[in-house]
Chain A
Amino acid sequence: MSRFDTSSLFQLTSMRFRLFLREPEAIFWTFIFPILLAMGLGIAFRNRPADVLQVGATTAQLTQALDADKGLTAATMDEAEGTRELATGKILLLAIQRADGVAYKFDDTNPDARLARLLADRAIQTAAGRQEPVRAENQLVHEAGARYIDFVVPGLLGMNLMGAAMWSLCFSIVEARQKKLLKRMVASPMPRWQYLSSFLLSRLILLVIEVAAFLGFARLVFGVPFRGPLWQLGLLCVLTSLAFSALGLLVSSRAKTMEAASGLMNLVMLPMWILSGVFFSASRFPVAIQPLVRALPLTAAIDALRGNMLQGMNLGQLAMPVAILAVWLVAPFAVSLRIFRWR
């Protein structure tokens, strides 16, 4: 037998690897799903020639004035019909001709409708002969790195690192505990630290493939920028993955059934899906809960990934999120080693 064959750490790690590769669903969720998600978002938020907003007007004259603006497309309709169209979202704004001027009917909580209000008013005032007191010209920027897809790719990467690390650890450990395999393993001379290390090792190997596939796709298809040092990006991915592995270990350290573990997992991950700024900036949440939002490991991970990829920040500038991640790595790991149930 070769040296590898007799190394229990190697055997444990290759067991993890084999079990993963023989689970087609796991491969889908780890490798394919994040790419599909990025593709879907990329298509949905691709850079369209600036949005054309649908509006309505009660007279042909108003319609003509509105249509003159490149940002608007207008149709003529009476007020009742226009109200119906507004309610169903077919138009964003209805311009109503009044004896003493124009009334705009729109929903001011909808940003697109507020935009339509500005454009419509400008178009109508211009058609009525308004002269702008200040001359203005537009310089348009369609630069990579400032688009939604650039914003969302680091978010998806962070979310994927979290899900893969937590689920793979939790599922395997709780299943082994439920099937009394864990008990059988500790009844053998297996070093316990090697059992836990085998999870981290196989995770790190998969991480390389997973991150390379996802970021490679984002780079080739969407031209997402990598402005920070790549090795630091790699390091951030490893740190993120280890922090979530520690959290996964903590979640699975006592649970005896898959049901109990799944509930705990969702309890831990759901707040982060919502609060950590995967799809929109976490700074949109109220100031009162910002300290909580900032302390979450996924927020720290995504902040660091965005800082590296989009702003080209180095590790020194990312000290805060890196420190938060490090705390999330050490604390859950220390706690779970104390409370881990081996049988």
Chain B
Amino acid sequence: MTDSRTTATQSAGSGADSPSLLLRGLRKAFGDVIAVDGLDLEVARGECFGLLGPNGAGKTTTIEICEGLTAPDAGTVELLGLDWATAAAALRQRIGIQLQETQFPDKLTVEETLRLFRSFYRRGLSVDESIKTAQLEEKRGARVGTLSGGQKQRLAMACALVGDPELLFLDEPTTGLDPQARRHLWDLVERLKQAGRTIILTTHYMEEAERLCDRVAIMDHGRTIALGTTPQLVASIGAEHVVEFAVAGHEAGGAQVNAALLTAIPGVQSHRVDAGLHQLSVCELHTAVPLIFAALDGQGLHLSEFRTHSATLEDVFVSLTGRTLRDE
């Protein structure tokens, strides 16, 4: 794996030492709405980097600025050591892009579509190779209009890959796909990762970011609010586990649970309630859970739900913003 990354880096040519992507002080406003508010990022070669955040966090604006489709109001963008103002044509040859909602012409076949996109690049994969990579062999001669959502998305990936890009941008690659198609696409991205490609993707699915990305930037309101590997981010909230419970009849009673008693338990870091569901961040699960049971019992409460899970990026987002990723 490491070997193939080295190869990709060496083939990069000019500016091989520079990071794949470098953003400094990026700002973009649409009218009164500030979409990106002073963003700094650096993505290394061979890295799979995720921009995670709820809808409207500024992910798509950020990635489209990186792709040279939107001009920033302020800040610098450098890709592969080049910038859009002076090296747009060269950059277009070296990056691959999958946009959020492209509809390819329904009446062209998969092969014709790829042959068209291949013709835009001086070098790249053969049409056959890109069809194989995207596992569309059986659909080679099928018209785009007859493809399923997952197959269309894999075609979009194939179009992004056909120029054999050094840097691949994927904007919400699995949004709107069913779980099976989503897993299929994840497999595809993982294979690309293993082949050493640098990938930058946006998503609002935390499991996608956890599974695919080496490093994740969590975005909210146009800023990064956290940056690191998934384990680093989870560790940053000070507790690896989350205990969730609900008590019977909470709708009627309201604040029957004495939060102070719970947070007094050793190992419990924090407590929050969301629609009747209590969440505790916990670091010593095995000792804390019996004490939590005892505390609730002592308050005369009956549990209607109780579960624990390892903390995820979702919990990181919740602990940083007090909202869930799915909040609109």
Does any Cβ of A come within 8 Å of B302's Cβ?
Answer: no
Does any Cβ of A come within 8 Å of B260's Cβ?
Answer: no
- The answer to whether A187 and B97 touch (CB under 8 A), given A8-B120, A10-B119, is yes
> Do B102 and A180 touch (CB < 8 A)?
yes
Inter-chain CB contacts under 8 Å: number? 70
Bound complex: CA A64 to CA B208 (Å): 98
Least Cβ–Cβ distance between B327 and chain A, in angstroms = 27
Which residues of chain B are within 8 angstroms of A183 by Cβ–Cβ distance?
Answer: 69, 99, 102
Q: Of B102, B107, B121, which one neighbours A22 at CB under 8 angstroms?
A: B107
Which residues of chain B are within 8 angstroms of A22 by Cβ–Cβ distance?
Answer: 107
Bound complex: CA A159 to CA B124 (Å): 45
Does any Cβ of A come within 8 Å of B108's Cβ?
Answer: yes
Does any Cβ of B come within 8 Å of A15's Cβ?
Answer: yes
Least Cβ–Cβ distance between B173 and chain A, in angstroms = 14
Least Cβ–Cβ distance between B191 and chain A, in angstroms = 22
- The answer to whether A15 and B102 touch (CB under 8 A), given A187-B69, A188-B92, A189-B89, is no
- The answer to whether A184 and B108 touch (CB under 8 A), given A8-B120, A189-B120, is no
Bound complex: CA A181 to CA B159 (Å): 12
> Do B119 and A7 touch (CB < 8 A)?
yes
Which residues of chain B are within 8 angstroms of A336 by Cβ–Cβ distance?
Answer: none
Does any Cβ of B come within 8 Å of A219's Cβ?
Answer: no
Bound complex: CA A10 to CA B115 (Å): 11
Which residues of chain B are within 8 angstroms of A184 by Cβ–Cβ distance?
Answer: 97, 99, 102, 104, 159
Bound complex: CA A18 to CA B116 (Å): 12
> Do A15 and B69 touch (CB < 8 A)?
no
Q: Of A6, A181, A187, which one neighbours B105 at CB under 8 angstroms?
A: A181
Query: 0/1 per residue, A209-235, Cβ < 8 Å to B?
Result: 000000000000000000000000000
| Residues of chain A from 163 to 205 with CB closer than 8 A to chain B in the complex | 176, 179-181, 183-184, 186-190
Does any Cβ of B come within 8 Å of A334's Cβ?
Answer: no
Determine chain B's interface SS by DSSP, over half rule: loop
Does any Cβ of B come within 8 Å of A259's Cβ?
Answer: no
> Do B115 and A5 touch (CB < 8 A)?
yes
> Do B119 and A6 touch (CB < 8 A)?
yes
> Do B99 and A18 touch (CB < 8 A)?
no
Q: Which residue of the partner chain B has the closest CB to A343?
A: B69
Does any Cβ of B come within 8 Å of A126's Cβ?
Answer: no
Least Cβ–Cβ distance between B134 and chain A, in angstroms = 16
Interface residues on A, range: 20 to 34
> Do B107 and A23 touch (CB < 8 A)?
yes
| Residues of chain B from 114 to 144 with CB closer than 8 A to chain A in the complex | 115-122, 126
Residue among A1, A7, A23 having the largest count of chain B Cβ atoms under 10 Å: A1
Bound complex: CA A102 to CA B92 (Å): 88
Bound complex: CA A7 to CA B69 (Å): 24
> Do A181 and B120 touch (CB < 8 A)?
no
Least Cβ–Cβ distance between A182 and chain B, in angstroms = 10
Does any Cβ of A come within 8 Å of B244's Cβ?
Answer: no
| Residues of chain B from 77 to 129 with CB closer than 8 A to chain A in the complex | 89, 92-93, 97, 99-105, 107-108, 112, 115-122, 126
Which residues of chain B are within 8 angstroms of A10 by Cβ–Cβ distance?
Answer: 119
Which residues of chain B are within 8 angstroms of A181 by Cβ–Cβ distance?
Answer: 102-105
Bound complex: CA A88 to CA B67 (Å): 71
List 7 interface pairs A-B (beta carbons < 8 Å), by A numbering: A15-B116, A181-B102, A181-B103, A183-B102, A184-B159, A189-B92, A190-B120
CB within 8 Å of A: which residues of B?
A: 67-69, 89, 92-93, 97, 99-105, 107-108, 112, 115-122, 126, 159, 163
Additional A-B contacts beyond A15-B116, A187-B68 (13; CB < 8 A): A5-B119, A6-B118, A8-B116, A11-B119, A176-B105, A180-B102, A181-B103, A186-B69, A187-B67, A187-B97, A188-B121, A189-B89, A189-B120
6 closest pairs, A vs B, by CB? A179-B103, A189-B92, A11-B119, A8-B119, A22-B107, A184-B102
